[in-house]
Amino acid sequence: MLRRVVGKTFGFLGYAIQYGCIAHCTFEYIGEIVICSGPSMEPTIRNYDVLLSENISRHFFSIQKGDIVIAKSPNNPKTNICKRVIGLEGDKVCTGSPSDFLKRHTYVPKGHIWLEGDNLQNSTDSRSYGPVPYALIRGRICLKLWPLNSFGLLKDSPNGRILQDD
């Protein structure tokens, strides 16, 4: 009797560990469902929108300008941020707001990207904390799942800041 109970317990434990490992690898290397909060990506992503993030492109260095990514916050590693890629390494980017009279520019250093929220007036992004190391990228947003009336691929940046190859 005891042998059967112990055997079933270890069998269940073995399956739980296997499924836990599969789930971890899936969420770490393939993709995950994320819920974004905060106004920094409005109107593209609103508070509590449910999104699908794929993690494969970060491993193959295929993140492009215009992509929306989930990354660890450079200010607080316990927090994830959701921002749009404005510049890749070597790109010249404008570091001020579009309404500034004098435009300041900088170059994105090797191994870094420049991230900004679509809501420039209400976003803490690379304009505040500078270029973000590529290693902090967790995944690329590929699909909006909820609310259902906006299901599908995400739109381009509403403020057109990506086309700055000057």
**Residues noted as catalytic:** 40, 83
Q: Which amino acid belongs to residue 49?
A: D
Q: Quick check: helix, strand or coil at residue 77?
A: coil
Query: In Å, how far are 29, 44, 121 from 124, measured between CA atoms?
Result: 27, 16, 9
Side-chain-facing half-sphere of 74: CA atoms under 13 Å: 17
Q: Which amino acid is at 107?
A: Y
Beta bridge partners, 152, equal: 144
2 is written with which tokens? 């005891």
